[in-house]
Amino acid sequence: MKLEVKDLTKIFGEREVLHGISFSVESGSALGLLGRNGAGKTTTIRILMDVFKSNSGTILLDGKPFCPREHQIGYLPEERGLYPKKTVSEQLIYLGMLRGLDAKKAKEQTKKWLKRMGVEEYENRKLETLSKGNQQKVQLAQTLLCDPDIIILDEPFSGLDPVNSQILKDVIREQIQQRKLVIFSSHQMSYVEEFCEEIAILNHGEIVLFGDLREIKREFGRDRLVLSSLAESPVELAERLEMGYADILEVEKIQKDRVIIRKNHPKNKNAILKRLVEEEVELEFFGLYEPSLNDIFVEKAGDEA
């Protein structure tokens, strides 16, 4: 399956919150839908699920108009939406039946997913008696109960310790391997990097970056180098570079243990290294810069609102 969002707009009152956004995602892969608070991620997700109607634009599935009611969609909201005073199994069975399962199948799926998430011992406990992390695992079990083809995960790792995070990672990878279509929204960029081949960054209701994450990293790293010195602090090294190398480079930023520079010309890498060696700078590291997704996100969406 291929889900395509094309030129989507949404207006609340006199305020347009989505300005013609477009992106796509295919089965067997995960799209990282990223943005600061208020960027438009939740509005986009709600339009995908037919909670809101867009003012204009189209959503296509395999080239045809997408009708959410005709497909099983698993949605994990950032804010938990289960019933705290109901037992875990009681409400999962109920929600499974609401989504089309018969009673027997709903019970089977509830037991299956509670066991897979490692919380089967709590099936007869009220949800409010569980820890925050276990509540999150029950919420994920609910998301996957009906074997959805489309899975939307909003901050799925919220409240999870490293052990429980690993369980969730394994489950998400299984879903991707089973050719599910996954949209993954999170502020924890390290998780996005683990799962998502493509990213779409929203800023002020616009897509400011969309594409293959590896290609985006390669593009952002172009003409940049990383340096560190055994004898000089990053600040001292940056000062030396600014004073003596301004003709071939500019210092872009200083980090905790390294300096990131931008070459003035694509072929300057060897010239920079040669001069550093000739001037007996004690280099600890000299190499190409590969930005983290966090670096990319800050550059594209870090402007002040």
Q: How far apart are CA 62 and CA 59, in angstroms?
A: 10
Q: What's the residue count for the chain?
A: 305
pLDDT in tens, 166-213: 988 899 999 999 999 999 998 888 889 988 999 999 999 999 999 999
Assigned architecture for domain 222-301: 2-Layer Sandwich (3.30)
Query: Residue 106 gets which letter from DSSP?
Result: H
Q: What is the mean pLDDT of residues 227-242?
A: 90
Strands 224-229 and 283-288: antiparallel
Q: How far apart are CA 193 and CA 294, in angstroms?
A: 9
**Residue 124, SS3?**
coil
Query: Which range, of 37-41, 103-107, 111-115, averages the lowest pLDDT?
Result: 37-41
The pLDDT of residue 268 is 82
Q: How far apart are CA 34 and CA 45, in angstroms?
A: 12
- Between these two residues, 59 and 230, which has the higher pLDDT value? 59
Averaged pLDDT of the chain:
91
User: CATH number of the domain at 2-217, out of 3.30.70.1400, 3.40.50.1260, 3.40.50.300, 3.30.1330.80?
Assistant: 3.40.50.300
The amino acid present at 250, given as its one-letter code, is: E
Judge whether residue 125 has pLDDT over 90.
yes
User: With pLDDT > 90 as the criterion, what percentage of the chain qualifies?
Assistant: 59
- Determine contact, residues 141/113, Cβ cutoff 8 Å: yes
Judge whether residue 298 has pLDDT over 80.
yes
Q: Which residues contact 104 (CB under 8 A, 6 or more apart)?
A: none
The pLDDT of residue 305 is 41
For the chain, the structural domain boundaries read 2-217, 222-301
Judge whether residue 242 has pLDDT over 70.
yes
Q: What Cα–Cα distance (Å) separates residue 149 from each residue in 1, 70, 77, 80, 94?
A: 9, 11, 17, 21, 20
φ/ψ of 265, rounded to 5, equals: -150, 140
pLDDT category of residue 303 using cuts at 50, 70 and 90: low
The pLDDT of residue 269 is 87
